[in-house]
């Protein structure tokens, strides 16, 4: 095995309140799977110049002067962000160590989260990130646009953390017979998720109740070997509404589903199912691509 | 992409709008001045600036860059307008746009890598000189009032930013225009005004197909102009994109920018505007004023149009001297003054490239010719230098009467004569071995040179054998793709 073949649980952390849960979920996954954790902090240059001039004159050597000015400002900003990030990463590694995990890596990268993920994709086994990043903390309804971009760029499972950490007991599998939802069955069968599960709810929402029933039953057989209670549900109605209500009624900790299967244009025009689920749902989500 | 598009548009709304307004104010005098350079009514440049700025905001490849009517392209149109009129200029503008789109699809932006730093400096210096020269007609054979006004205007432009508080908020070129206009108006001084230079826009632009016969004759007239405009436009745009990339530490999409410039020029031509491209000065002003997104170019275009349509009556009475002052500022700001000092310290070849670029541009009034000259001279200097990387080690073995030549270095068109001269043909000898495995044959001239050496030696009755030709001729292949891996390059260049 070369170094590149080594895969990680990638935990994307920042200064937001979700990060603590992200770290805890990563630790939980690491313990179940024996995979090492890589904590990732990205330094985003959203920096906008403080010293804005509106005098509008073209002066000699303007480019050089402006370049120096901007790079000086950004250097200070970057250094601060790197230092802040180091603190966040140290806290995370410390937490992992306390939980008995010594094989963790802390990594900082410049650029947006999705850029970092593109570069790291090959080594990701599963990724954990918070629903809202630091910039969006005050915005209760909105999803960070970063999140969708991040999920879209990589082809790996993503655990989106929306609630504080609790070992998942009740799992909801949104199943529609698509290749991604078949992947979902594979992943549940892995120890990483299944060992501590008590209930698995398999659910299909379709316009046609018969199809829904057939599809839901299809999964049950595949999941029978697991030592937890299986419950199959078939329903009709607006999927987002049906799923979110079900999540609340049955105390679902984790919802497993395919994500962003439509193109961006479709999502832009009609609103993406995934985005609506993430926004309105009451559980954490494991998204598959 | 839609997400990053959203960021490009709405990521910096306040900064973009404010910067856009500053740019719009700066664009008005420039657009008028460039129209005058091209010999058309001010409205042609103003409509062009509106169309290009707005269209580029949407289809361009570099957020935060400002494109509009420019001096670089205006200078190329002078004779076309003089000989054939505005309608032919509009056709030339549309055709230039089409050529730029084609250039985008053909990935011609990659040729920008041939434009060296010296050529770029020469380009900007030449542009500055031409902008200054274009102001001379306004300064010759005029009353002393004009000189006084121009100097006063320049004083305001350069000193107003030092006024506390307002100096950093209000664009000083605007203060110059307002102050000089008020002064001339109330003192009743009789000097030339913008209104004397031709029509200003009094309505929103309308869609217009140029009124010319669409035939080969027309194509023959406009094509040379369109080509020059397309080339110069792309050069300045890509150069500016590089500057903005560096300033903002972000990437631009050069291919999209080429196509975008094309679309913008077509749009400009169709509403009665002249061709343009990115503006280095305005783009830097934009960044300096806090503009980073696409919204700033969009704002600049729209605000410019609103200003000129509603203020055309006021614009008419703006004295030309105020405009000349602005253009002198642009000229002084565009010139790379440090490059004069560097003439002493830079390698002579670099200075020669810079100067020849400037001289050819000022001579021909065509920046494209200057850039080509600069690239050509720069390449010749490089070839000259590379040809020095060649030597031959010669050994004689008395026992076997064998002379071996060990060739090391680069053999190509420029070093092939030197290569031939490095052998001793007069030596009466039995056998010669030429070992070329540490040499590189870059072109067929090099191969021909080796043949020549072999024939010359054979004529003298010497048996010649060559070792290592396969390794030496690997560089001959035009398949550059073979050489894109480090280990392949090491295989070829290893030992040097």
Contacts of A54 in chain B (CB under 8 A): 18-19, 22, 168-171, 289
Interface of A with B in 244-273 (CB under 8 A): 264-265, 268
Q: Is the pTM of this model over 0.80?
A: yes
| Chain-chain contact of B3 with A148 (C-beta, under 8 angstroms) | yes
CA A117 to chain B, closest CA, distance in angstroms equals 16
Output the average pLDDT for chain A.
83
Which of B173, B287, B332 is facing A56, going by the closest CB pair?
B173
Is residue B158 pLDDT above 60, yes or no? yes
Contacts of B27 in chain A (CB under 8 A): none
- Which pLDDT tens digit goes with each residue over A69-124? 888 888 888 899 999 999 999 999 999 999 998 889 999 998 888 888 888 888 89
pLDDT band at B478 (very low <50, low <70, confident <90, very high): low
Residue A98, helix vs strand vs coil: helix
**Look-up of token digits 């939802």:** A181
Contacts of B14 in chain A (CB under 8 A): none
| Chain-chain contact of B173 with A57 (C-beta, under 8 angstroms) | yes
Q: Half-sphere exposure of residue B266, counting CA atoms within 13 Å on the CB side?
A: 14
| Chain-chain contact of B173 with A67 (C-beta, under 8 angstroms) | no
- Which pLDDT tens digit goes with each residue over B254-294? 999 999 999 999 999 999 999 999 999 999 999 988 899 99
What is the structure's pLDDT at A138? 44
Total CB pairs under 8 A between chain A and B: 101
Which of B6, B157, B333 is facing A62, going by the closest CB pair?
B333
What is the structure's pLDDT at B343? 94
Read off the DSSP letter of residue A197.
Answer: -
| Chain-chain contact of A58 with B333 (C-beta, under 8 angstroms) | yes
What is the structure's pLDDT at B474? 74
Contacts of A142 (CB under 8 A, 6+ apart): A132, A136, A279
What is the structure's pLDDT at B1? 47
CA A177 to chain B, closest CA, distance in angstroms equals 29
| Chain-chain contact of A54 with B329 (C-beta, under 8 angstroms) | no
What is the structure's pLDDT at B42? 94
What is the structure's pLDDT at B257? 96
- The answer to whether residue A60 neighbours chain B at the CB level (below 8 Å) is yes
Beta carbons of B14 and B296 less than 8 angstroms apart:
no
CA B252 to chain A, closest CA, distance in angstroms equals 15
Three-class HEC string of A146-174:
HHHHHHHHCCCCEEEECCCCCCCCEEEEE
Average pLDDT over residues B120-148: 93
What is the structure's pLDDT at A235? 84
| Chain-chain contact of A56 with B285 (C-beta, under 8 angstroms) | yes
| Lowest-pLDDT range of A166-180, B222-236, B252-266, B412-426 | A166-180
- The answer to whether residue A66 neighbours chain B at the CB level (below 8 Å) is yes
Taking the C-alpha atoms of residue A127 and residue A160, their distance in angstroms, rounded to an integer, is 8
Closest-approach residue (CA) in chain B for A58? B333
Closest-approach residue (CA) in chain B for A145? B3
- Which pLDDT tens digit goes with each residue over A112-166? 888 888 888 888 999 998 887 665 444 444 456 678 888 888 888 999 998 889 8
What is the structure's pLDDT at A262? 67
| Chain-chain contact of A52 with B290 (C-beta, under 8 angstroms) | yes
- The answer to whether residue A49 neighbours chain B at the CB level (below 8 Å) is yes
| Chain-chain contact of B173 with A268 (C-beta, under 8 angstroms) | no
pLDDT band at A232 (very low <50, low <70, confident <90, very high): confident
Residue B378 dihedral angles phi and psi, to the nearest 5°: -60, -40
Is residue A261 pLDDT above 80, yes or no? no
Is residue B246 pLDDT above 60, yes or no? yes
- The answer to whether residue A67 neighbours chain B at the CB level (below 8 Å) is yes
- The answer to whether residue A98 neighbours chain B at the CB level (below 8 Å) is no
Beta carbons of A155 and A121 less than 8 angstroms apart:
yes
In order of A231, B180, B190, B322, the CA distances from B186 in angstroms are 89, 10, 11, 15
What is the structure's pLDDT at B496? 47
CA B98 to chain A, closest CA, distance in angstroms equals 28
Is residue A213 pLDDT above 60, yes or no? yes
Residue of B288, B303, B328 best to disrupt the A interface, most CBs of A under 10 A: B288
CA B334 to chain A, closest CA, distance in angstroms equals 7
CA A142 to chain B, closest CA, distance in angstroms equals 14
Beta carbons of B40 and B273 less than 8 angstroms apart:
no
Is residue B79 pLDDT above 90, yes or no? yes
- Which pLDDT tens digit goes with each residue over A195-205? 778 888 888 88
- Which pLDDT tens digit goes with each residue over B415-469? 999 999 999 998 888 899 999 988 988 888 998 999 999 999 988 889 999 988 8
Average pLDDT over residues B305-331: 92
Beta carbons of B309 and B203 less than 8 angstroms apart:
yes
pLDDT band at B484 (very low <50, low <70, confident <90, very high): low
What is the structure's pLDDT at A179? 81
Q: Half-sphere exposure of residue B405, counting CA atoms within 13 Å on the CB side?
A: 25
| Lowest-pLDDT range of A165-179, B194-208, B470-484 | B470-484
Contacts of B172 in chain A (CB under 8 A): 55-57
Is residue A184 pLDDT above 90, yes or no? no
How many other CB atoms are there within 10 angstroms of residue B313's CB atom?
A: 10
Contacts of A66 in chain B (CB under 8 A): 247, 284, 287-288
What is the structure's pLDDT at A139? 45
Beta carbons of B241 and B252 less than 8 angstroms apart:
yes
What is the structure's pLDDT at A1? 38
Three-class HEC string of chain B:
CHHHHHHHHHCCHHHHHHHHHHHHHHHHHHHHHHHHHHCCCHHHHHHHHHHHHHHHHHHCCCCCCCEEECHHHHHHHHHHHHHHCHHHHHHHHHHHHHHHHHHHHCCHHHHHHHCCHHHHHHHHHHHHHHHHHHHHHHHCCCCHHHHHHHHHHHHHHHHHHHCCCHHHHCCHHHHHHHHHHHHHHHHCCCCCEHHHHCCCCCCCCCCCCCCCCCCHHHHHHHHHHHHHHHHHHHHHHHHHHHHHHHHHCCCCCHHHHHHHHHHHHHHHHHCCCCCEEECHHHHHHHHHCCCCCHHHHHHHHHHHHHHHHHHHHHHHCCEHHHHHHHHHHHHHHHCCCHHHHHHHHCCHHHHHHHHHHHHHHHHHCCHHHHHHHHHHHHHHHHHHHHCCCEEEEEEEECCCCEEEEEEEEEECCCCHHHHHHCCCCCCCCCEEEEEEEEEEECCHHHHHHHHHHHHHHHHCCCEEEEECHHHHHHHHCCCHHHHHCHHHHHHHHCCC
What is the structure's pLDDT at B340? 94
pLDDT band at B337 (very low <50, low <70, confident <90, very high): very high
- The answer to whether residue A68 neighbours chain B at the CB level (below 8 Å) is no
Is residue A3 pLDDT above 60, yes or no? no
Beta carbons of A112 and A44 less than 8 angstroms apart:
yes
Beta bridge partners of A255: A172, A285
What is the structure's pLDDT at A58? 85
What is the structure's pLDDT at B371? 95
Q: How far is CA B493 from the centre of its chain?
A: 34
Beta carbons of B76 and B296 less than 8 angstroms apart:
no
Output the average pLDDT for chain B.
91
Residue of A45, A58, A73 best to disrupt the B interface, most CBs of B under 10 A: A58
Is residue B202 pLDDT above 70, yes or no? yes
CA A56 to chain B, closest CA, distance in angstroms equals 5
| Lowest-pLDDT range of A233-237, B117-121, B290-294, B418-422 | A233-237
What is the structure's pLDDT at A208? 79
| Chain-chain contact of A57 with B172 (C-beta, under 8 angstroms) | yes
pLDDT band at A209 (very low <50, low <70, confident <90, very high): confident
């Amino acid at each position: 095995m070369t170094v590149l073949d080594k895969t990680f649980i990638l935990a994307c952390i920042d200064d937001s309140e979700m990060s603590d849960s992200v770290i805890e979920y990563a630790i939980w996954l690491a313990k179940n799977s024996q995979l090492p954790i890589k904590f990732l902090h990205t330094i985003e240059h959203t920096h906008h110049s403080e010293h804005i001039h509106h005098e509008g004159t073209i002066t000699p050597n303007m480019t050089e002067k402006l370049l120096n000015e901007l790079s000086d400002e950004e250097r200070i900003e970057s250094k601060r962000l790197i230092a802040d990030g180091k603190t966040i990463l140290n806290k995370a590694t410390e937490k992992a160590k306390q939980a008995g995990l010594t094989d963790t890596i802390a990594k900082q990268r410049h650029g947006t989260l999705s850029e970092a993920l593109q570069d790291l994709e090959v080594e990701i086994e599963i990724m954990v990130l918070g629903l809202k990043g630091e910039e969006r903390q005050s915005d209760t309804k909105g999803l960070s646009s970063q999140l969708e971009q991040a999920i879209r760029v990589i082809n790996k499972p993503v655990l989106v953390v929306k609630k504080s950490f609790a070992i998942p007991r009740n799992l909801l599998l949104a199943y529609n017979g698509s290749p991604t939802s078949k992947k979902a069955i594979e992943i549940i069968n892995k120890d990483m998720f299944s060992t501590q599960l008590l209930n698995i709810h398999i659910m299909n929402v379709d316009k046609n109740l018969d199809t829904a029933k057939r599809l839901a039953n299809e999964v049950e057989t595949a999941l029978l070997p697991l030592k937890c209670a299986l419950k199959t549900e078939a329903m009709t109605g607006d999927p987002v509404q049906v799923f979110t209500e079900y999540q609340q009624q049955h105390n679902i900790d984790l919802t497993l589903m395919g994500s962003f299967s439509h193109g961006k244009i479709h999502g832009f025009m009609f609103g993406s199912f995934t985005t609506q689920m993430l926004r309105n749902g009451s559980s954490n989500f494991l998204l598959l691509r | 992409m839609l997400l990053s598009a959203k960021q490009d548009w709405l990521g910096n709304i306040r900064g973009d709008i404010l910067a856009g307004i500053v740019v719009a104010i700066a664009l008005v005098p420039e657009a008028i001045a460039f129209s005058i350079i091209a010999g058309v009514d001010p409205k042609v440049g103003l409509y062009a600036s509106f169309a290009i700025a707005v269209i580029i905001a949407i289809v361009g490849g570099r957020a935060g860059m400002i494109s509009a009517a420019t001096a670089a392209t205006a200078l190329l149109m002078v004779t076309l307008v003089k000989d054939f009129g505005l309608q032919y200029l509009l056709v030339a503008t549309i055709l230039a746009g089409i050529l730029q789109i084609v250039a985008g699809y053909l990935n011609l932006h990659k040729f920008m890598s041939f434009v060296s730093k010296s050529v770029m400096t020469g380009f900007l210096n030449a542009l500055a000189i031409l902008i200054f020269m274009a102001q001379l007609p306004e300064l010759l054979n005029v009353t002393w009032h004009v000189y006084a006004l121009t100097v006063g205007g320049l004083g305001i432009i350069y000193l107003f930013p030092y006024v506390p508080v307002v100096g950093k908020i209000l664009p000083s070129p605007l203060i110059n225009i307002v102050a000089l206009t008020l002064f001339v108006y109330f003192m009743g001084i009789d000097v030339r005004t913008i209104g004397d230079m031709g029509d200003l826009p009094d309505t929103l632009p309308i869609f217009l197909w140029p009124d010319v016969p669409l035939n080969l004759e027309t194509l023959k007239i406009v094509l040379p102009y369109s080509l020059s405009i397309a080339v110069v436009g792309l050069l300045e745009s890509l150069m500016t994109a590089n500057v903005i990339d560096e300033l903002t530490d972000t990437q631009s999409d050069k291919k999209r920018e080429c196509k975008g410039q094309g679309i913008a020029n077509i749009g400009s031509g169709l509403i009665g505007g002249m061709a343009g491209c990115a503006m280095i000065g305005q783009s830097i002003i934009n960044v300096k004023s806090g503009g980073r997104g696409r919204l700033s170019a969009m704002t600049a275009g729209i605000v410019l149009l609103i200003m000129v349509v509603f203020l055309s009556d006021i614009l008419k009475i703006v004295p030309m001297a105020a405009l000349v002052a602005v253009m002198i500022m642009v000229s002084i700001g565009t010139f790379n003054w440090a490059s004069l000092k560097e003439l002493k310290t830079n390698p002579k070849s670099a200075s020669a490239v810079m100067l020849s670029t400037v001289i050819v541009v000022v001579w021909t009034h065509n920046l494209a010719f200057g850039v080509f000259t600069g690239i050509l001279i720069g390449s010749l200097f490089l070839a000259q230098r590379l040809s020095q990387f060649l030597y031959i080690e010669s050994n004689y073995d008395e026992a076997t009467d064998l002379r071996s030549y060990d060739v090391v270095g680069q053999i190509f068109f420029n070093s092939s004569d030197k290569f031939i001269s490095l052998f001793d043909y007069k030596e009466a000898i039995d056998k010669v071995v030429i070992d070329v495995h540490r040499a590189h044959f870059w072109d067929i001239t090099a191969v021909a040179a080796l043949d020549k050496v072999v024939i010359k030696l054979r004529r003298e009755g010497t048996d010649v054998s060559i070792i290592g030709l396969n390794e030496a001729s690997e560089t001959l292949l035009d398949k550059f793709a073979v050489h894109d891996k480090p280990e392949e390059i090491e295989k070829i260049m290893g030992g040097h």
